[in-house]
Structure formats: C-alpha cells, structure tokens
Amino acid sequence: MLIWIIFAAMTGAAVLAVLWPLGRRAPALFADAAGATALYRAQVAEIDRDLGRKLIGAAEAEAAKAEAARRLLRTTAEESEPAGESEPSLRRRRAASAIALSCVPLLALLIYGAYGSPTIPDQPLAARMKANPAQDFEMALARIEAHLAANPTDGKGWSVLAPVYLRQGRFDDAAKAFANAIRYDGATADRQAGQAEAQVLAAGGVVTAAARESLAAALALEPANPRARFFMAIAQEQDGLVPAAIAALKALLADAPAGAPWAGPVRSRLERLEGKPSTAETIASLPEADRTTAIRGMVDSLAARLAEGGGSLAEWSRLIRSQAVLGEREAALKSLATARERLGTDPSAVAALDGLRNELGLQEAAR
C-alpha cells in the first residue's frame, strides 16, 4: 500500500512540475531582440579590438561594422508579433494542461503496470544473510557454495550439494560435486550411483563409458543399489541386450520395498521395453492441447485423492511441484497449506516443505 502512496506522490510532483509554468503569467512575447542587440554590439566591440591590434584595416572595419548593423536590423525586423493573453492563448494553455495531466500518469501506469513488480520487496544481500537461511533456499545454496569455494576438500559439503545440483538440472556441476565428495570423503554406493546418474543426464540420457565405470564401482560396493541397477539395465538396453534389460528391471521391481518412490519410473521404462506404451509416452504422443488436459487430469486426480486425507511427503511434494509448474499458483499455495497441516507433526517434513516453497518461489505475496 505504502508503495502506491509514494507512486501517487511522485506522479503528482511530476505533473505539478510540468503544469507550474502554465499557471504563471508568461511574458507577452519571446524577448529575443534584446539578446540579438547585445550580440551585435559585442561584435562591433570585437571589430574595434581587431582594428586596435591592426589585424584588419580601417576600411575593412567600417565594412564589417556596417554588416553587423545590417544583421541587427534584419533580426529586429523579424521579431514576431506576440500572442498575448488572448482567448486562444488561454484555450491552448488548458489543452496543454490536459495533455500533461493525462499523458504523464497514463503512460507511467501503463508501462509500469506492464513491467513493474510492486509486490516484490528489495532484497539486499546483507539483510538476507541475517535472515534465517532455512527460509531462503538460494541463500543457503550460495552459502554452501561459498564455503566449498574456500574449503574445496570438504567432502561432506560436496555430498550435500551434489543431489541439489542434480535436482536443479545442473548435471555437469552435479557430476563434479559427486566426484569431489568421493575424492575427499570416500566412495559410497549412493555417491557412485549419483555420479553415474549425473553423467548420464549430462550426456542426454546416454550411459557413457565413464558412467559405466561409476555404476560398476557402485555395484561393487552395494550389489543391491537400486539406482545403479536401474542405470545398468539402461546400459544393457543401449547395447541391444533388451531381454537382459527387461529381466534386470523385473528383478529390480521384485526387490522394491512397498511404496518405493523410484518404482514408478522403473515400471514405465519396463513397459516401454516390453513394447507397451507407457502412460508417460501415451501422454507425450498426444497433441499439445490434449496433452495439457491429460496432465491436468492426472494432477487433479492426485489432488482429489490427497484431499480425502493422508498422503506422504513425496506425494504432496509431487502435487505442489506439478501445480506450480502448471502455473496454478493459488492451488499450489493451498496444497502447501494443507500439507503443512497434515504433516505438521513431522519437523523434517515441514522443513522439506519450506524448502520446496522457497525453491518454487511460492512465498506469500509481499505485503
């Protein structure tokens, strides 16, 4: 609200500044003849000075003076008639005032309305540093990055950062971060598998030779690691060993604990390998409008199911993320609020939801 009062005051000041000369009694004419007289008088003085310094002869000086006088006469003769305080003049002033009164605020509001963001407050860095880092995902990330830039051998730090990069789609950075975590804090199956995933995604879905090495290292440490097994199956598929890939994925599904979040993608991959179009592919092959409808339908059914009660953190996160991506900001905010109510007893879930909120820019509109 305050900002609109300030805007109104600024507009008022700008309009007044422009209107002010229209309100004053103006001189009746452009008093320019006086200036011309002064100039030509000075010119004559300069001719005299040149004469004194013997730069020009007496006859030339006379001629020059005569020319200056002629110019002066010409200028004063041209002086136009004043407009004065006549009726048309007053009408013109009113019209000009109307232009100023309408043009300035209208243009400003039009352009600012189109490009401005009056609800976003200033966010100077110092203030953000002081605020709780948990509320500002980007700040927290920047802090970890700055910490690691100063202490590049902190393997634990890299292992925190790597999955974040992976989620943000910064695959190359993620691969480097996993590699650093392994180098400075030792290899684990999860880190090796994570590095493999980052390498695969960075290569556009192709399991490269380097990714295979990482996968092999992960499986050597933990033969049952589901992520490594999944990408190994994809590698087999790439090599043309489709039946082996299918067998590997089926085995993976058989080992999956109930409600494993990764079971979905594995299942759809398997369906595709077996020649059945997966749900995701069916949607992808639809025309643009239908596709949006289908996706919305899925999101809405998930929302309806969760609205009835329950829902895990993963499900709520998926719903909120989908709604935010689809541009349904209001719905996403509502889901977020409901999720916080339902999962309020679990502090780690609340923290995760807060992180999600910051990541998706779902802060309440600034007052």
Partner 1 sequence: MFVEIGHFALALALGVAVVQTIVPLWGVARNDPALAAVGPAAAIACFLLVALAFGCLTMSYALSDFSVENVAANSHSTQPLIYKLTAVWGNHEGSMLLWSLILVLFGALVALSRRSLPVKLRAGTLAAQGSISVAFLSFTLLTSNPFRRLVPAPGEGQDLNPILQDLGLAIHPPLLYVGYVGFSITYAFAVAALIEGKIDAVWARAVRPWTLLAWTFLTLGIAMGSYWAYYELGWGGWWFWDPVENASLMPWLAGTALIHSTVVMEKRDALKVWTILLAILTFSLSLLGTFIVRSGVLTSVHSFASDPQRGLFILGILIAFIGGSLALFAWRAPLLKQGGLFAPVSRESALVINNLFLATACATVFIGTLYPLVLEMLTGDKISVGPPFFNATFVPLLVPLLLLLPIGQTLAWKRGDLLGAAQRAQVAFGLGVITTLAIFAFVRGGPVLAPLGIGLGVFLVAGAFWEVGERVVGRAGSASAAWSRAKGLPRSAWGTALGHAGVGLSVIGIAAVAWGTEAIGMLRVGESLTSGRYTATLEAVTPRIGPNYREEAARFRIVANGAELKPVEAMKRVYTARAMPTTEAGIRTDGLGQVYVSLGEPDGSGAIAVRLHDKPLILLIWIGALVMAVGGALSLTDRRFRLAAPRRAAASAALPQAAE
Q: What is the DSSP string of 226-275?
A: HHHHHHHHHHHHHTT-HHHHHHHHHHHHHHPPTT-TTHHHHHHHHHHHTT
Q: Select 297 or 361, whichever has its Cβ closest to partner 1.
A: 361
Query: Rule CB under 8 A: which of 3-62 touch partner 1?
Result: 3, 6-7, 10-11, 14, 17-18, 20-22, 24, 26-32, 35-36, 38-39, 41-43, 45-46, 48-49, 52-53, 55-56, 60
The token pair at 102 is: 């309408």
Query: Rule CB under 8 A: which of 303-362 touch partner 1?
Result: 358-359, 361
Query: Rule CB under 8 A: which of 163-222 touch partner 1?
Result: none
In angstroms, what is the minimal distance from the CB of 317 to partner 1? 17
CB atoms within 10 A of CB 234: 20
CB atoms within 10 A of CB 199: 26
In angstroms, what is the minimal distance from the CB of 46 to partner 1? 7
What distance in Å separates the CA atoms of residue 3 and residue 11, rounded to the nearest whole number?
12
In angstroms, what is the minimal distance from the CB of 5 to partner 1? 11
Report which DSSP code applies to 85. T
In angstroms, what is the minimal distance from the CB of 298 to partner 1? 27
The token pair at 24 is: 């004053």
What type of residue sits at position 348? Answer: S
Q: Which of 112, 224, 276, 337 binds partner 1 (CB under 8 A)?
A: 112
Q: Select 111 or 307, whichever has its Cβ closest to partner 1.
A: 111
Q: Which of 83, 134, 224, 337 binds partner 1 (CB under 8 A)?
A: 83
In angstroms, what is the minimal distance from the CB of 55 to partner 1? 6
Q: Select 193 or 356, whichever has its Cβ closest to partner 1.
A: 356
Those residues with Cβ within 8 angstroms of residue 112's Cβ, 6 or more apart along the chain or in another chain: 7, 118
Q: Which of 62, 78, 274, 281 binds partner 1 (CB under 8 A)?
A: 78
In angstroms, what is the minimal distance from the CB of 252 to partner 1? 36
What type of residue sits at position 158? Answer: W
- Number of shown-chain residues binding partner 1 (CB under 8 A): 87
Stretch that binds partner 1, among 122-130, 162-170, 231-239, 321-329 (CB under 8 A): 122-130
Question: In terms of DSSP H, where are the helices of the chain?
Answer: 2-23, 33-52, 58-78, 87-115, 125-130, 137-150, 155-168, 171-185, 189-202, 209-221, 226-238, 242-255, 263-273, 279-285, 288-307, 313-325, 329-342, 347-360
Stretch that binds partner 1, among 71-79, 156-164, 167-175, 335-343 (CB under 8 A): 71-79
Q: Select 105 or 155, whichever has its Cβ closest to partner 1.
A: 105
What distance in Å separates the CA atoms of residue 226 and residue 238, rounded to the nearest whole number?
19
In angstroms, what is the minimal distance from the CB of 155 to partner 1? 20
Closest CA to 137 of 359, 301, 362: 359
Stretch that binds partner 1, among 64-72, 247-255, 283-291, 307-315 (CB under 8 A): 64-72
Q: Residue with structure tokens 């006469």?
A: 73
Query: Rule CB under 8 A: which of 85-104 touch partner 1?
Result: 89, 92-93, 96, 99-100, 103-104
Stretch that binds partner 1, among 141-149, 152-160, 182-190, 313-321 (CB under 8 A): 141-149
The token pair at 165 is: 């990069």
